[in-house]
Amino acid sequence: MPKTSQFRTFAIEKILKATLKFPSEQGLSAITLRKLLVPASKLLPVNRSLHFKKLHLAGMSCEEIKIRNEAPTQMIFHIHGGAFFLGGLDSHRGLMSDLVTYTKAQVLHLDYPLAPEHPFPYALDLLFAAYLEILQQGIEPKDITLSGDSCGGNLALALCLKLRDEKLPLPSGLILMSPWLDLSLSGESLKFNAKQDALLSEQLLKQGIEYYITDDSSIDEPYVSPLFANLSGLPEILIQVGSKEILLDDAKRLKEYVDQAGGKATLSIYPGMWHNFHMFNHWVEQAKQALVDIARFVDHVDR
């Protein structure tokens, strides 16, 4: 990696640790953390040359993003991250526009209801209804790639499991970026990468669990911690994670368990990268490469 790129990566890590990770370790309320996320989101570039359209599915606000005057052959149905209580259309608009730019696909970005106002299974049920709604509109399952980052990866995998269990049509592929799949927090990387991960803290994950799980559900339920579900009969999966992530073991174990279940999964570990590094692709070469790899995967499942 050229020295200029190394310096940019180092600088971004320092900034993220000070502005986002440190506040996440202070036990601040959901409302306060959401307010802190607003100015940070505005720093991520958005490709305004794309076509943006507001939609509603299953009662949720959504944003359709695609290249103007083109007819994409694949739809990316994306579920954003944020420990189940943060994030939305604004926080991830930059990454979504980058996904369109790299893949040439149409992205459907869903603003699902957050915890603690709406704990499990509220979001999953609405995402399930939204997926069925786009099928009813005539979108073929083979033309849909399901995608999610962080806890959105959890919801994306849980949605696939629910569709399989209900014997409903599955998407052509599944993309999981820095996925959080184990709410029991049993992965060893939570400890050995605690100081390395520039963005995510164990404290924030515990806060998300407290908000997301009620007395009516359990951490070991398949739709809550999909890492421990029966993982057979799923579409092909692309798993991307950074080597410095506290969730590294979630990604590694998912690959292992999918292989054991007879499925097909590709695990890509990007050296020196932190949680949700994809969002910083305008400055970080490894993040650009991850989006190139996603574009190849989308093209592969589309064929």
Mean pLDDT for 146-160 is 98
Residue 91 annotated among the catalytic residues of the structure: no
Q: Mapped to the 3 state alphabet, what secondary structure does the chain carry?
A: CCHHHHHHHHHHHHHHHHHHHHHHCCCCCHHHHHHHHHHHHCCCCCCCCCEEEEEEECCEEEEEEECCCCCCCCEEEEECCCCCCCCCHHHHHHHHHHHHHHHCCEEEEEECCCCCCCCCCHHHHHHHHHHHHHHHCCCCHHHEEEEEECHHHHHHHHHHHHHHHCCCCCCCEEEEECCCCCCCCCCCHHHHCCCCCCCCCHHHHHHHHHHHCCCCCCCCCCCCCHHHCCCCCCCEEEEEEECCCCCHHHHHHHHHHHHHCCCCEEEEEECCCCCCHHHHCCCCHHHHHHHHHHHHHHHHHHC
Mean pLDDT, the chain, rounded, equals 96
Q: Has residue 128 got a pLDDT over 80?
A: yes
Q: Which of 147, 150, 178, 225 is catalytic?
A: 150
Tens-place pLDDT, residues 5-52: 888 999 999 999 999 999 999 999 999 999 999 999 999 999 999 999
Domain 3-302 has CATH 3.50.50.60: no
Mean pLDDT for 157-176 is 98
CA distance 60 to 69: 26
Predicted confidence at residue 2, as pLDDT, reads 65
Predicted confidence at residue 178, as pLDDT, reads 98
Q: How confident is the model at residue 302 (pLDDT cuts 50, 70, 90)?
A: confident
* One-letter amino acid for residue 116 of the chain: P
Q: Domain ranges for the chain, please list them.
A: 3-302
Q: Using only C-alpha atoms, what is the Rg of the chain?
A: 18
Q: Has residue 109 got a pLDDT over 70?
A: yes
- Does the pTM of the predicted model rise above 0.85? yes
pLDDT, greater one: 302 or 229? 229
Mean pLDDT for 248-261 is 98
Both tokens of 168, joined, read 């409903």
Predicted confidence at residue 1, as pLDDT, reads 59
Predicted confidence at residue 4, as pLDDT, reads 81
Q: Has residue 295 got a pLDDT over 70?
A: yes
Tens-place pLDDT, residues 58-93: 999 999 999 998 889 899 999 999 999 999 999 999
Tens-place pLDDT, residues 68-77: 988 898 999 9
Question: Cis omega (within 30 of 0) on the bond before 226?
Answer: no
Predicted confidence at residue 248, as pLDDT, reads 98
